[in-house]
Amino acid sequence: MKKLYILILTLVSVLMSSCYSHRVIGYLQEPTKMNKLPVYDSVPYVPYRIHVNDEIIYRLITMDETMTKMLGTNNASMGSNYANAYRVHEDGTIDLPFLPPVKLEGLTEIEAQDTIRAAFREIIPDADVKVAMYNKYFSVIGDANAGQYYIYKEKMNIFQALAMTGDVMNSGDRRHIRIIRPTKEGKDPEILEFDMRTNSIIDSKYYYVYPNDVIYVAREKNSFYTVPNYAGFIGLITSSVALLTTVLNYVAQLYR
């Protein structure tokens, strides 16, 4: 009987260490000497700058009826106007109706808007322009609801982005989240790796999600042996103890 108790306690200890806990999957934890979470520096937000192959949509507003007829849907309502997208070419320019190539690579949306407005005012003095990016998407792969998602607001953060996927699965490795981020044409993409459990991620360089980001959530190495919840944990203990008791009783009967 003493050996049975020892085996049961050993089994319980092993299973307890295999449960998902707040320390493993919890967000916004305070870094301490015990949990050894990283402390990231706060950095100012940097607006996204247009890359080659990005797509731009715009709306031109003018009282010039002649130009309105010539531009057609480009000067229509916001809904129909947004059906037309213009790709940024390898040389960093886009081709817009009645304009020479306009250099947009490296500009923010606001700077691109000002640049296109200035170009149109060369031929339409009262021109006003509204500009937005068409391909404002990020992608998620790995142990989350993989897919492509639209960036619906400025300064979207990593928590809001992953909330759109339904959050990281319990088996996902929150200690080593990776973002693959395109850089300037011709250079290798930047790979950012971080622990998203620490509260110091807020306002760090890992906090905001940008267009064309790919968020990769690896699977936790020990997830195969981990119990998803405490209800499953109790059920596993009960069935394991029952099986162990049956085996020990059977062995005891053999040696009587």
Can you tell me whether residue 225 is helix, strand or coil?
helix
What is the full DSSP assignment across 15-54?
HHTTB--HHHH-SSBPP-TTT----PPP---------TT-
What gap in Å lies between CA 202 and CA 39, rounded to an integer? 10
Give the mean pLDDT of 216-239.
63
pLDDT, mean over the chain = 82
Q: In the chain, pLDDT over 90 holds for what percent of residues? A: 59
pLDDT band for position 77 (50/70/90)? very low
Fold of 55-132: wza like fold (3.30.1950)
The reported pLDDT for the residue numbered 168 is 93
Give the mean pLDDT of 213-230.
72
Q: Which residues contact 90 (CB under 8 A, 6 or more apart)?
A: 52, 185
The reported pLDDT for the residue numbered 94 is 96
Q: Supply φ then ψ for residue 73, to 5 degrees.
A: -65, -20
pLDDT band for position 221 (50/70/90)? confident
Domain map (residue ranges) of the chain = 2-19+227-254, 28-47+136-222, 55-132
CB 115 within 8 A of CB 50: no
Q: Which of 22-36, 144-158, 167-181 has the lowest mean pLDDT?
A: 22-36
Kindly report the number of other CB atoms within 10 A of residue 133's CB atom: 19
For 78-130, write each residue's pLDDT tens digit. 333 334 789 999 999 999 988 999 999 999 999 999 999 999 999 999 999 99
pLDDT at 162 exceeding the cut of 70: yes
Nearest to 106 by CA among 91, 118, 86, 92: 92
The reported pLDDT for the residue numbered 243 is 62
Give the mean pLDDT of 149-154.
94
pLDDT band for position 75 (50/70/90)? very low
pLDDT at 68 exceeding the cut of 80: no
The reported pLDDT for the residue numbered 76 is 42
Which tokens belong to 167? 């959050």
What gap in Å lies between CA 22 and CA 16, rounded to an integer? 13
Of 224 and 209, which is predicted with more confidence? 209
Alpha-helix runs per DSSP H in the chain: 2-16, 22-25, 65-71, 78-81, 109-120, 158-163, 230-254
pLDDT band for position 187 (50/70/90)? confident
The reported pLDDT for the residue numbered 27 is 94
pTM for the structure as a whole: 0.75
The reported pLDDT for the residue numbered 81 is 38
pLDDT at 232 exceeding the cut of 60: no
Q: In the chain, pLDDT over 70 holds for what percent of residues? A: 73
The reported pLDDT for the residue numbered 240 is 60
CATH class of 28-47+136-222: alpha beta
